[in-house]
Structure 1
Amino acid sequence: MPKPSVLFVCVHNAGRSQMAAAFLAYLSAGAVEVRSAGSAPADQVNPAAVAAMAEVGIDIAAEQPKVLTDAAVRASDVVITMGCGDTCPFYPGKRYEDWVLDDPAGKGVEAVRPIRDEIRRRVELLLGELVPA
């Protein structure tokens, strides 16, 4: 059975998609191939997202926002969008989900914590579907 692959996409690839990718990589312990990208990548990962993830023991400080490519979408089984609207290419046969989440851009760590916690909850559900126990 091939390893499932997931692509998380948000506009800047600096907050939501970085946190989701980090949670899935951590919680799946390598059982899922994880990618993240943005339709208009920022220069760096959101410092509040870095701080919020550090609070739960996951270090995303070295991550860099990446541009969304057709190749990344084609290589993924599941594409999770987070506020990027219609900028994500659509390929038949892929599973697409749109997770409506607040954008952590410009917010402090206090405001990012509930977003982080909701992302973790959704990632845990997704992981349960992709890699049944």
Structure 2
Amino acid sequence: MTTPTVLFICTHNAGRSQLGAHLMDHVAEGRVHSTSGGVAPADAINPAIAATLAELSIDTTSVVPRAVTAEDLATADVVVTMKPNLDLPGPIHGEHVQWSFPDPANWDADGARGMRDAVRAAVEKLEQRLR
């Protein structure tokens, strides 16, 4: 059995998609390969998101947001768009899962914590389905 690849996408690859990918790695413990990208990547991960992940002992200090590519979309088994109507660089070839989470760009860690927990709950359900 092959390890499924899940690609998480948001606008800047600084918040929502980072949460998705890091939380999937955290809960899946190697059963799922996760990656993330953005359609207009930021220069750095959102500090509030990094802080909430650090609370779970998830280190994001070396993370740099990146652009999602057509190859990413073609090779992922599951593509999770973290907001509706993203302008993607190509067609999705695997399963498409669409979630809708608000943009945490101007949030502090206290504000982002609830979204982290909501994304974690969604990630746990997806990971269980992929087993």
Give the TM bin, normalised by the shorter chain: over 0.9
For residues 8-49 of structure 1, the C-alpha deviation after alignment (integer angstroms, 9 at most, x for no partner) is 000000011001100111211111111100000000000000
Q: Determine whether 1:53 maps to 2:19.
A: no
Runs of 4+ in 1 over 2 A off after TM superposition: 88-92
User: Which amino acid letter does the alignment assign opposite residue 91 of structure 2?
Assistant: F
What is the distance in 2 between the residues matched to 1:79 and 1:9?
Answer: 7
Aligned equivalent of 1:127: 127
For residues 84-108 of structure 1, the C-alpha deviation after alignment (integer angstroms, 9 at most, x for no partner) is 624123235x211111111110111
8 Å Cα contact 1:10/1:84 also seen in 2: no
User: Which amino acid letter does the alignment assign opposite residue 81 of structure 2?
Assistant: T
- 1:7 deviates by 0.2
What is the distance in 1 between the residues matched to 2:96 and 2:81?
Answer: 8
- Measured on the aligned residues, the alpha-carbon RMSD in Å equals 1.2
Deviates more, 1:8-17 or 1:19-28: 19-28
Matches within 5 A, 1:105-124: 105-124=105-124
Aligned equivalent of 2:21: 21
User: Which amino acid letter does the alignment assign opposite residue 95 of structure 2?
Assistant: R
Matches within 5 A, 1:1-133: 1-83=1-83, 85-88=85-88, 89-92=90-93, 94-131=94-131
Q: Report the TM-score, using the length of structure 2 for normalisation.
A: 0.94
- Number of residues paired by the alignment? 130
Identity value in percent: 38
Decide whether aligned partners of structure 1 residues 75 and 117 sit closer, same or farther in structure 2, where only a CA change above 3 A counts.
same
8 Å Cα contact 1:52/1:116 also seen in 2: yes
What is the distance in 2 between the residues matched to 1:86 and 1:38?
Answer: 9
Gaps of 5+ in 2: none
